[in-house]
Amino acid sequence: LQADDVESKIREIIPPGFCTNTDDFVSLLEKEVNFKPFGMLLHTYSVHNEEAGEDITYQIYKADMTCPGFREYHERLQTFLMWFIETASFIDVDDERWNYFLVFEKYNKDGATLFATVGYMTVYNYYVYPDKTRPRVSQMLILPPFQGEGHGAQLLETVHRYYMSSPTVLDITAEDPSENYMKLRDFVLVKLCQDLLCFSPGKLMQGFSQEMVMEAQQKLKINKQHTRRVYEILRLRATDMGDAEQSRSYRLDVKRRLIGPYKKKQRELAKMRRCLRPEELTNQLNQIDINMQHEQLEESFQQLVSDYRRVLERLAQA
């Protein structure tokens, strides 16, 4: 058997000048003592490290391609996407609408202050008529050694707070979000929204309202769809699920939203009754099992409640 030419495959992804032996790599590492983060410092936070027995400091920066040296740094940084995100692709860095947010660990070694790359996020600023923008999260990666420490939540919350201060931003979205990203977003948005007056327990029990949509959009740049999920999570926290009446009210409220796709099928069926021949209609009816729809609706509800409880558990620990 002939071995694969691994280096040629790597060359398609990694920019020219990469090391092919350990000695060269180690010698380059010695120069990293002079590395400093790019751009503007947005947020500093600390995380307690059990193994080290101390708090470790992290910083989040916003950068763009006008920062000296950042283009070359980003060329190397983005290659990590190919190893850890299945559908990843490189972006057009010459487009000025891209913003870059980076997380670094700040630490001391032999009297020098050093920075280690933790992760980053790219955000594209779409134009919204007539004078607004809609930032859309495109890529987000926390490198494996730092995963599970809360850096993703810190990064996403910092990015939200950065755009919240801009009067030209309409709302913040994400491009083709993964399931893990949506869970992370749920936690961050609930954390941001829980102190708004419109999400007080009394108002939550009255149901989802336009007031919630307006306040979340104006103050926190959250769109209606995401505001609805925040409402359902916070209402679950305010609901005594051991109380039959409260539990039933919550279940019906959530299911009214979940049933949307099923009602669409019913509308399509009504059109079929008017347009299809009897044998064609019978074939379509066989594909729409009402009992199965009810089972799927209940399954979706239970899964949603399970996801919501995990968000609330994490919120309680934050």
The CATH T-level fold of domain 6-176 is Aminopeptidase (3.40.630)
- Read off φ and ψ for residue 46, nearest 5 degrees: -130, 150
Model confidence at 111: pLDDT above 90: no
pLDDT at 11: 87
77, HSE (Cβ side, Cα atoms, 13 Å): 27
Active site (catalytic) residues = 175
Q: What is the pLDDT of residues 2-15, one digit of tens each?
A: 999 988 888 888 88
Q: What is the mean pLDDT of residues 94-103?
A: 96
Gap between the Cα atoms of 141 and 159, Å rounded: 14
pTM of the predicted structure, to 2 decimals: 0.88
Domains in the chain: boundaries? 6-176, 244-317
Residues 6+ apart with CB under 8 A from 218: none
Local structure of 75: helix, strand or coil: helix
**What's the pLDDT band for 284 if we cut at 50, 70, 90?**
low
Gap between the Cα atoms of 312 and 280, Å rounded: 48
Q: What is the pLDDT of residues 47-88, one digit of tens each?
A: 988 887 889 999 999 999 999 999 999 999 999 998 888 878
For residue 187, what are the β-bridge partners? none
Q: What is the mean pLDDT of residues 155-159?
A: 98
Gap between the Cα atoms of 265 and 114, Å rounded: 58
pLDDT at 32: 81
